[in-house]
Amino acid sequence: MASSDPTAAPTVTLAPLQTLFDAGDGGGPWRVVRGLLRLDRVGRDGPLLVMLAEPGDWLGLDALAGQAHGWRATAVTPVILRGPLQPATEAERARWLTEALLQLPERAHAMALLRTGAVRQRLATLLRLLARPDVLGQTGDAALRGRLPPLRVLAELVDAKHETVCRVLGQLLPRPREAAALVAA
């Protein structure tokens, strides 16, 4: 049987806030090509952010074990994914699972940087992630500012009040008029 090349699989596009799958759903796995998705554990108190999936990450590998998804996957930015995929061989299945397992410590570290420390540091970390060409596809502060997720979403991702995020965002990404005034002062 020929290998199922993930780069040759059909693509799926999600708009921000669109759900790829919910906890309890089946299907997958998927490979993130562009954008960010949030993985939430949904409980009585609503969704709890667990991790962000970045380009190159695997999602929905529980399907390879015959399990339903344990998380909700929702687009934070516009997202392009490949899938659902089906491994052609047991070796390919094992390789995909190994890749996903090896990405987990890096994603856990990334979440720790987004959720601990000063809000300025957390937001700067998120902005660096969003500024990557494989996430929002734009470069430069002006382009980034125009494509940011809503303030409420940014605040949820860095675990801060939206008023604080608004103030710090103004410091980190001043609007052109504000930047000119800062330089002139």
Model pLDDT, residue 178: 47
Domain architecture of the chain: domains with CATH: 6-89 (2.60.120.10), 119-184 (no CATH)
Q: Are 58 and 93 in contact (CB under 8 A)?
A: no
Residues in the chain with pLDDT values less than 50:
1-3, 178-185
Q: What pTM value is reported for the model?
A: 0.86
pLDDT per position as a tens digit, 81-110: 999 999 999 999 999 999 999 999 999 999
Listing DSSP states for 148-180 in one string gives: PPPHHHHHHHHTS-HHHHHHHHHHHS--HHHHH
The per-residue pLDDT for range 164-183, each reduced to its tens digit, is 999 999 999 887 654 444 44
65 CB-side CA count, 13 A:
11
| Run of H or E residues at 21 | strand 19-21
